[in-house]
Amino acid sequence: MKVLVLAGGNSAERNVSLQSGSTVALALTFTGKYIADLRDPAEFNLLTSDCSQWDIAFPMVHGTGGEDGVLQRQLGRIGLMYVGSNAEASELTFDKIRTNQLLSQHGITVPPEIVLQKNDMAADNHNAIIKLGLPVVVKPPRQGSSIGVSIVQTAEQIAAALSLAFEYDEECLVEQYIDGAEVTVTVIDGKAYPAIEIRPATEWYDYDSKYADNRTQYIIDTDNTFQTASDIAVKACEICGVTGIARVDFRIDTLGGTYLLEVNTIPGMTSHSLVPKSAAAAGLSMSDLCDLAIQNRLQRLP
């Protein structure tokens, strides 16, 4: 079976995407069941190319152009079946503001938040954050890999945090910082895999902690301490219409309160990434994981 692995693109997560795509292509090749071709949408136009040679696509484009429904709509237009969430679910979950609103309506807890606009008065935005209460997490609502994210501890840090977030979006999502454990849950077509607690060596789980710092600790939840998070992750994916491989991130406070942070429809598949670690804890190799995603998609035909 011939698989088109799409990775790269033009987003701020391009480099991570290229690593993820290379890992997936190699894993599929190792199964002996697939011929995997890696293409970069930044250099390869799906709409003007002959894609009839491939049986299925495996999108690994992180960020804008990949997780926001754009790529999925292109694949739909050319009639090439693909692994993962459809365009509507991708577009929804890429927008943390819309996702939080929907999940809150269904009883899922997210951190207390406010949404700020780039063209609003700086003083008004500053005062709104102070009213929400420090510390807060300031983030662009349509980015990933902690790009543009800041943890603000003092009033003096607000201006720089907003400036950074507004480099990536016209809106800014500001959430109360939840003190406690950082936990992530992999969900593959409605099934939760072992939760992982993340313990970065630095102040928080930033870009370097995710992709470069070998001191970051990943603790597999072998005793179901975070079963509540796993249950919520499955429910959140169902509410949002998410299929394929997904990763749902949480903060668990010191009293056990579980706060959903985001739903990722094309999570990283690098050597530092969380989904492969969770799958390995369940006995799945990278090749097993990628094969499972394709086989699950084939069972959902058409």
Mean pLDDT computed over 111-121: 97
Top mean pLDDT of 85-94, 144-153, 197-206, 270-279 is at 85-94
Q: Identify the pLDDT of residue 300.
A: 86
Which CATH superfamily, name and number, covers 113-176?
Answer: ATP-grasp fold, A domain (3.30.1490.20)
- Which among 237, 258, 222, 268 has a CA at the least distance from the CA of 59? 268
213 vs 39 pLDDT, higher one: 39
Q: Identify the pLDDT of residue 206.
A: 59
- Catalytic site residue from 142, 268, 278, 297: 268
- Catalytic site residue from 8, 13, 63, 259: 13
Q: Catalytic site residue 249?
A: yes
Q: For 229-269, write each residue's pLDDT tens digit.
A: 999 999 999 999 999 999 999 999 999 999 999 999 999 99
The token pair that represents 280 in the structure block: 């390995």
For the chain, give every residue range classified as CATH 3.30.470.20.
93-108+179-299
146 confidence band (pLDDT: 50, 70, 90): confident
- Catalytic site residue from 262, 273, 287, 291: 262
Q: For 53-92, write each residue's pLDDT tens digit.
A: 999 999 999 999 999 999 999 999 999 999 999 999 999 9
- Catalytic site residue from 14, 142, 247, 297: 247
Q: Catalytic site residue 145?
A: yes
Mean pLDDT computed over 215-230: 94
Non-local (6+) Cβ contacts of 114 within 8 A are: 128, 129, 132, 174
205 confidence band (pLDDT: 50, 70, 90): low
Q: For 161-181, write each residue's pLDDT tens digit.
A: 999 999 999 999 999 999 999
Report the Cα 132 to chain-centroid distance in Å: 26
- Which among 159, 175, 192 has a CA at the least distance from the CA of 112? 175
Q: For 1-34, write each residue's pLDDT tens digit.
A: 999 999 999 998 899 999 999 999 999 999 999 9
Reply yes or no on domain 2-83 having CATH 3.40.50.20.
yes
**What order do you get walking across the sheet with 113-117 strand by strand?**
113-117, 171-176, 136-139, 150-152
Please give the CATH architecture assigned to the domain spanning 93-108+179-299. Answer: 2-Layer Sandwich (3.30)
- Catalytic site residue from 249, 259, 291, 297: 249
210 confidence band (pLDDT: 50, 70, 90): low
- Catalytic site residue from 11, 90, 209, 264: 264
104 confidence band (pLDDT: 50, 70, 90): very high
- Catalytic site residue from 34, 82, 193, 211: 211
**Side chain identity at residue 258, one-letter code:** T
For the chain, give every residue range classified as CATH 3.40.50.20.
2-83
For the chain, give every residue range classified as CATH 3.30.1490.20.
113-176
Query: Rounded to whole angstroms, how far apart are CA atoms 82 and 227?
Result: 30
Task: Point out the least confidently predicted range of 68-77, 126-135, 267-276.
Answer: 267-276
User: How confident is the prediction for the chain on average, in pLDDT?
Assistant: 94
Q: Catalytic site residue 208?
A: no
Q: Catalytic site residue 175?
A: no
Q: Identify the pLDDT of residue 272.
A: 81
Q: Catalytic site residue 247?
A: yes
Q: Catalytic site residue 251?
A: no
Q: Catalytic site residue 124?
A: no
Q: For 35-49, write each residue's pLDDT tens digit.
A: 999 999 999 999 999
Q: Identify the pLDDT of residue 201.
A: 76
